């Protein structure tokens, strides 16, 4: 079935000065939109056309003959998840159940923050850093290119996009500065908490 690009959950200037309107215009308006168009073109008329995008991603993972469909589908989904992982009122320490779980699984928030920042900064080339729930434990993982935790049975909680198009207009080659800005000022802990609570059901 066709996948529609979700509307941004905030105005295109709401993440400034950390992520500029210009970056949103290119990243959401061009890169994300193109992944979705290519995915819809590729899946149309195939036996997978009646499945939702998450199922298509899992079904096509690690299949070289379906690499194009997987890459565009996973990038379409990853980006939709990324926009929701950010908030103009985000950043800082979480509260509630997820805060307690972070303390349990990482030791404390500062240890978690350091691990997430390191994963995002050290992902070689393009990719993603994720907070995931894996068999009941919160973990930080990183994936290359279009790869996604969905294909490993892990539940995504938050993500940071570290493809260059996510930050280069605003931070040039200073990826660690972009990552720090996202963690300190933009991470959407309300979204993360909802994903965490949904995973408990």
Angle at 168 between CA 6 and CA 20, to 5 degrees: 55
pLDDT given for residue 194 in this prediction: 97
Q: Which of 20, 162, 159 is nearest to 88 (CA)?
A: 20
Instruction: Please state, in angstroms and rounded to a whole number, the distance separating the CA atoms of residues 175 and 34.
Output: 24
Instruction: Please state, in angstroms and rounded to a whole number, the distance separating the CA atoms of residues 51 and 62.
Output: 18
Burial of 65 from C-beta contacts in 10 A (0-12 / 13-18 / 19+): exposed
What's the distance, CA 13 to chain centroid? 19
Mean pLDDT, all residues of the chain: 97
pLDDT given for residue 1 in this prediction: 81
pLDDT tens by residue, 27-69: 999 999 999 999 999 999 999 999 999 999 999 999 999 999 9
**What DSSP designation does 127 have?**
E
Instruction: Please state, in angstroms and rounded to a whole number, the distance separating the CA atoms of residues 73 and 52.
Output: 10
With a pLDDT cut of 90, the percent of the chain lying above it is 99
pLDDT given for residue 201 in this prediction: 64
pLDDT tens by residue, 138-167: 999 999 999 999 999 999 999 999 999 999
Looking at the domain that runs over 21-84, which CATH code has it been given?
A: 1.10.287.990
pLDDT given for residue 61 in this prediction: 97
Q: What global pTM score does this model have?
A: 0.96
* Mean pLDDT score, 94-100: 97
What is the helix (H) or strand (E) element at residue 128, kind and residue range? Answer: strand 127-134
- Give the Cβ contact number of residue 85 at 10 Å: 24
pLDDT given for residue 200 in this prediction: 82
Q: How confident is the model at residue 22 (pLDDT cuts 50, 70, 90)?
A: very high
Domain boundaries, the chain: 21-84, 97-200
Looking at the domain that runs over 97-200, which CATH code has it been given?
A: 3.55.40.20
């Amino acid at each position: 079935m066709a996948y529609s690009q979700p509307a941004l959950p905030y105005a295109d200037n709401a993440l400034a000065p950390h992520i500029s309107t210009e970056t949103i215009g290119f990243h959401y308006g061009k890169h994300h939109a193109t992944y979705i168009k290519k995915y819809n073109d590729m899946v149309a008329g195939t036996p997978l056309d009646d499945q939702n995008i998450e199922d298509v991603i899992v079904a096509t993972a690690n299949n070289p003959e379906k690499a194009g469909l997987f890459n565009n589908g996973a990038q379409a989904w990853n980006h939709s998840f990324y926009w929701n992982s950010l908030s103009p009122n985000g950043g800082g320490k979480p509260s509630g159940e997820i805060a307690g779980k972070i303390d349990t699984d990482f030791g404390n928030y500062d240890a978690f923050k350091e691990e997430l920042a390191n994963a995002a900064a050290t992902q070689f080339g393009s990719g993603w850093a994720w907070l995931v729930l894996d068999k009941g434990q919160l973990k930080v993982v990183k994936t290359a290119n279009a790869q996604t935790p969905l294909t490993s049975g892990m539940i995504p909680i938050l993500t940071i996009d570290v493809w260059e198009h996510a930050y280069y207009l605003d931070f040039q080659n200073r990826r660690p500065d972009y990552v720090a800005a996202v963690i300190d000022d933009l991470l959407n802990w309300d979204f993360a908490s909802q994903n965490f609570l949904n995973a408990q059901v």
